[in-house]
Amino acid sequence: MSTTVEQKGYFGEFGGSFVPEELQNVLTILDENFQKYKDDEDFKNELDYYFREYIGRQSPLYFAENLKQQLGGAKIYLKREDLNHTGSHKINNVLGQILLAKRMGANRVIAETGAGQHGVATATACAMFGMDCTIYMGLEDTKRQALNVFRMELLGAKVVAVDKGQGRLKDAVDEAFADLVENYESTFYLLGSAVGPHPFPSMVKHFQSVISRESRAQILEKEGVLPTAVLACVGGGSNAIGAFAEYIADEEVRLIGIEPDKAATLNEGTPGELHGFKCLLLQDAQGNPLPTYSIAAGLDYPGAGPEHSYLKTIGRAEYVTVSNEEVLEAFQVLSKVEGIIPALESSHAVAHALKLAPTLSPDESIIINISGRGDKDVEQVFHMLNK
């Protein structure tokens, strides 16, 4: 089974591009350049160079033997995206898009960020390539992730705290798109998740699919067979679509996305439009996005990527929820048992794995995508645990 991107980037009924005409012209040019360069040998060689020499790819697929012994059941492998330069999977997509921006002659880059990891990755790449950088971040998230705000500013980025709405990720995206509409002639919007109007979801998937391209080869080398399941947290869905991409055609591999129970877009959402695309959306009777909450700022989004919406609808992927209490427990378990402090976002996937692994047989394996490291969350977790 495979997902097909139809004209203007549809996955079944989801996706598309519902934007003002002047912005559509910008997106059309972006798509033309993406199609031109994504398979260009010089472009691929340059991207591979930075993946290897700057990010430190490939990232390990680590056998969590201690965790397996504690839980029983399936072997647990961790795809260590937390070991990438800047501490998460976000840098994969950022380097792909910044090389595209360079070829398109852009000198100003803007981005949105929730937990701050995409903002840090964007600021890092802009520093390296000498580009002007502005990051939009919800005011509430700037408080929760003050360390990442300082990191972005240290790297030379201007961080704009958005106090509209809930002051969270959705509101940051709103402001970034408003900036793009106003400044499209000189500005490249480096969108961080697999959301938004076409071509963003397909572009982000393309650059993040390196995760599953590596893990598929790695698990076959280690186990000789494909995993029973691949697990990844889902907000907008970039790390999950990257972790799933190369397995979508392997119907025997379960694809499991894990959402916060207070932002269960794919479990509880209905089809609607958000930020210029159609997806499963938490919305009121008038189609307005509902407030969401997650202790993980990167998962605090009322919609999900169009391909995730499609995979959910056709039954190819499963999407489950976990509670804040389960996430905090998983954060501590992986830290204490394996010496790996995961991001709160990634801890959602770990939380479900703690329940899933014991139900499987010892000759089966699962892969958890550890999308980021938990340094950014340690102070927040300290305060939550010591209330």
Residue from 112, 175, 338, 345 carrying the catalytic annotation:
112
In angstroms, the CA 172 to CA 138 distance is 5
In angstroms, the CA 169 to CA 297 distance is 8
Residue from 75, 202, 371, 376 carrying the catalytic annotation:
371
Residue 9 one-letter amino acid? G
The per-residue pLDDT for range 24-55, each reduced to its tens digit, is 999 999 999 999 999 999 999 999 999 999 99
Residue 42 one-letter amino acid? D
Query: The domain at 58-88+208-385 falls in which architecture?
Result: 3-Layer(aba) Sandwich (3.40)
In angstroms, the CA 374 to CA 234 distance is 17
The per-residue pLDDT for range 129-143, each reduced to its tens digit, is 999 999 999 999 999
Q: Which of 145, 154, 119 is nearest to 374 (CA)?
A: 145
Residue from 79, 90, 205, 376 carrying the catalytic annotation:
90
Alpha helices in 65-163 (DSSP H): 65-71, 90-103, 117-129, 139-144, 146-154
The per-residue pLDDT for range 59-109, each reduced to its tens digit, is 999 999 999 999 999 999 999 999 999 999 999 999 999 999 999 999 999
Q: Which burial class, exposed, middle or buried, applies to 181 when counting CB atoms under 10 A from its CB (0-12, 13-18, 19+)?
A: middle
Q: Which burial class, exposed, middle or buried, applies to 178 when counting CB atoms under 10 A from its CB (0-12, 13-18, 19+)?
A: exposed
Residue 371 is among the residues annotated as catalytic for this protein: yes
Q: Which burial class, exposed, middle or buried, applies to 73 when counting CB atoms under 10 A from its CB (0-12, 13-18, 19+)?
A: middle
What are the domain boundaries of the chain? 11-48+90-204, 58-88+208-385
Asked whether the domain spanning 58-88+208-385 has the same topology as the one spanning 11-48+90-204, the reply is yes
CB contact at 8 A, 51 and 57:
yes
Q: Which of 328, 331, 306 is nearest to 317 (CA)?
A: 306
Q: No. of H helices and E strands in the chain?
A: 16, 14
The per-residue pLDDT for range 194-212, each reduced to its tens digit, is 999 999 999 999 999 999 9
Residue 90 is among the residues annotated as catalytic for this protein: yes
Q: Nearest 5°: phi and psi at 268?
A: -120, -5
- State the pTM of this model: 0.96
For the chain, give the percent of residues with pLDDT over 70: 98
Residue 59 is among the residues annotated as catalytic for this protein: no
Q: Nearest 5°: phi and psi at 362?
A: -65, -20
Place of tokens 């495979």: 2
Query: CATH fold of 11-48+90-204, please?
Result: Rossmann fold (3.40.50)
Output DSSP code: residue 133: E
In angstroms, the CA 154 to CA 99 distance is 22
The pLDDT of residue 149 is above 80: yes
